[in-house]
Amino acid sequence: MLHIVDDEDVIRDALAWLAQSRGLEARGYASGEAFLEAIGAAGALGTGGDCVLLDVRMPGMNGVAVFDQLVKNGLIARLPVIFLTGHGDVPMAVDSLKRGAFDFFEKPFNDNVLMDRVDEALGASRKAAEAAVVQARLATLSAREREVLDLILAGMMNKVVADKLGISMRTVEVHRAHIFDKMHVKTAVELAGLLK
């Protein structure tokens, strides 16, 4: 989903049309407050990827304040921000990029270059979403399951894991089944691929 935050209707409509011409779903917001309210009400972000095109100068909450809120809430990886400005402010651009903004475009911009960066930002967002899912699954493992997981990933067979941890082979098999179930995998190879 491409989120377009700009106080000018014409800009929002043009960017939404441009996104749709690339097969991307887009949603526009007339203010930073409306955008923050919408993503807050929607709850967790999806795994399909999200990106924000954020105008710097808007009445009320400006783009930098919206960005600060996203940084504070730890959403920058899942919700990459591409700033748009009609007033080139190099120090602000440099500061924003240092703090995690995905890119900074000065109006007027090249449509194709902008949309290529949007595609890259969406890809980065999808990767961050997938990593968050894996981390959430890992968090469900018990301390013993984490120990067994580490040894499985080291390539050890059940008997070796049992000897190393001083538990029965049957207990290792039970832990292994729980790990595979919680991590949504069927094999050790799948598990290793998920955690690479």
- Residues near 20 by Cβ (< 8 Å), separated by ≥ 6? 26
pLDDT of residue 138: 94
The answer to whether residues 80 and 121 belong to one domain is yes
pLDDT of residue 53: 95
> Reduced to 3 states, what is the DSSP secondary structure of residue 125?
helix
Parent domain of 157: 140-194
The answer to whether residues 88 and 174 belong to one domain is no
pLDDT of residue 177: 94
pLDDT of residue 44: 52
pLDDT of residue 106: 85
pLDDT of residue 188: 87
Residues of the chain short of pLDDT 50, as ranges, are none
Domain stops at, among 112, 131, 150: 131
The answer to whether residues 101 and 172 belong to one domain is no
pLDDT of residue 195: 86
The answer to whether residues 73 and 30 belong to one domain is yes
Distance from C-alpha of 79 to C-alpha of 4, rounded to nearest angstrom: 12
Strand 51-55 vs strand 2-5: parallel, antiparallel, or unpaired? Answer: parallel
pLDDT of residue 35: 93
| Cβ count near 141 (within 10 Å) | 17
pLDDT of residue 2: 93
pLDDT of residue 88: 65
The answer to whether residues 148 and 95 belong to one domain is no
pLDDT of residue 196: 78
Report the domain count for the chain: 2
Q: Model's pTM, two decimal places? A: 0.77
The answer to whether residues 190 and 122 belong to one domain is no
CATH number, residue 9: 3.40.50.2300
The answer to whether residues 31 and 50 belong to one domain is yes
pLDDT of residue 31: 94
Domain stops at, among 76, 111, 131: 131
